[in-house]
Each structure stands twice: as C-alpha cells, then as structure tokens.
C-alpha cells in the first residue's frame, strides 16, 4: 500500500511553505516541496504510467510558481491552500486507474 499522490502533493505544498516560513530559509522549504513532489510523481508513475506522472509534475510545478503571484492578491496562506486544493484534485484524477 502506498501513500496517495494527492496526500503527498498536499504535504509538499503546505509543509514546504510551513518549513520555509518557520526556518526563514526558503531552500529548506524547497527541499520538502521537491521531495514530496517527486514522491507523488513516483506513486503516479507506478499506478498509471509516465505520461500522467509528468502531467502531475507539471501541475505541481505550476502550483509552486503560481502560488507566489496569487499570494500578492489573496495572502500567503490562502494562496497555498488554494493551489494545494487544485493540485490534490489533479493528483487524485491523474492517479486513478482506468477501467477496461
């Protein structure tokens, strides 16, 4: 049994931001975010293949970069939660096995 990719993406985005904020070192948050993102991609790859895993990685990267300009409009934590929700939904959809 593996950890769901949606849980990994959520932990990476929220945990990465929390670590960066708590330690005042953005690179530590980046390490957390990168590790969780790569783990989510691996779970997705094992379950559904390379193409969905790459799509998940692109979605995750877009969430990381998109949260910054969004934070200027709605605030840091609301931005993190918004992109986390969207990314978790995408991860869930991308890792579902298709029925034959």
For the stretch 51-60, pLDDT in tens is 999 999 999 9
The pLDDT of residue 100: 44
Q: At 3, phi and psi to the nearest 5?
A: -75, 135
Residue written as token pair 């708590």: 22
Contact predicate 20/26, CB 8 Å: yes
Distance of CA 52 to the CA centre of its chain: 14
Checking phi first, is residue 25 left (phi over 0); if not, alpha (psi -120 to 50) or beta? Answer: beta
pLDDT digits (tens, 9 = 90+) for 1-28: 689 999 999 999 999 999 999 999 999 9
What's the pTM?
A: 0.91
């Amino acid at each position: 049994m593996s950890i769901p990719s949606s849980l990994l993406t959520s932990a990476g985005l929220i945990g990465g931001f929390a670590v960066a904020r708590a330690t005042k070192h953005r690179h530590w948050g980046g390490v957390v975010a990168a590790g969780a993102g790569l783990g989510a991609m691996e779970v997705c790859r094992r379950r559904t293949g390379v193409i969905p895993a790459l799509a998940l990685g692109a979605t995750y990267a877009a969430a990381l970069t998109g949260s910054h300009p969004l934070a200027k409009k709605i605030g840091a934590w609301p931005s993190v939660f918004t992109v986390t929700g969207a990314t978790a939904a995408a991860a869930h959809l991308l890792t579902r096995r298709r029925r034959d």
